[in-house]
């Protein structure tokens, strides 16, 4: 198995600066996953990175996007409230988990043999929330630098 990082948000810090990093486990190397993404873009004529939730505070999906993504074979897993809003031609909020699921499904459109799974990074962090059993805490290093 292979692992690679998937950044969600402003990974190059040229806007709002918030970014989450997911560790993705794959049955293929990251170079093959990239090829799968580009193949999915070619097959669907959708560049997902610029298509869905791509602008500041853009966390919504519209009826046309739902139809296009569904027609590509993506299972959007929308809840009843989202479906109700879309039925009324209103925008529907896309939550973080739904968005990541859409990204992984989209990449899979470029390589049907590709297996992608969110995994936990098995490297522990030095800092932690709260205090440990000895009432110790490690704060933020370099907080003022950013």
- pLDDT tens, residue by residue, 97-115: 999 999 999 999 999 999 9
pTM score:
0.80
How far is the CA of 117 from the CAs of 15, 20, 24, in angstroms?
A: 28, 16, 5
Sign of CA dihedral 44, 45, 47, 51: negative
Q: Which of 6, 49, 38, 48 is nearest to 25 (CA)?
A: 6
DSSP state, 94? -
Check whether 14 has a pLDDT greater than 60: no
Coil, helix or strand at residue 24: strand
Coil, helix or strand at residue 69: helix
């Amino acid at each position: 198995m292979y692992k690679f990082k998937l950044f969600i948000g402003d990974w190059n810090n040229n806007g709002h600066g918030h970014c989450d990093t997911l560790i993705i486990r794959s049955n293929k190397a990251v170079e093959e996953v990239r090829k799968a993404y580009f193949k999915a873009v070619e097959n669907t004529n959708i560049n997902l990175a610029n298509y869905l939730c791509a602008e500041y505070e853009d966390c919504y999906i519209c009826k046309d996007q739902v139809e296009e993504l569904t027609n590509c074979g993506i299972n959007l897993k929308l809840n009843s409230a989202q479906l109700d809003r879309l039925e009324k031609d209103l925008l529907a909020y896309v939550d973080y988990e739904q968005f990541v699921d859409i990204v992984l499904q989209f990449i899979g459109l470029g390589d049907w043999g590709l297996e992608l799974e969110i995994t936990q990074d098995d490297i522990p962090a030095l800092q932690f929330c709260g205090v440990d059993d000895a009432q110790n805490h490690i704060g933020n290093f370099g907080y003022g630098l950013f």
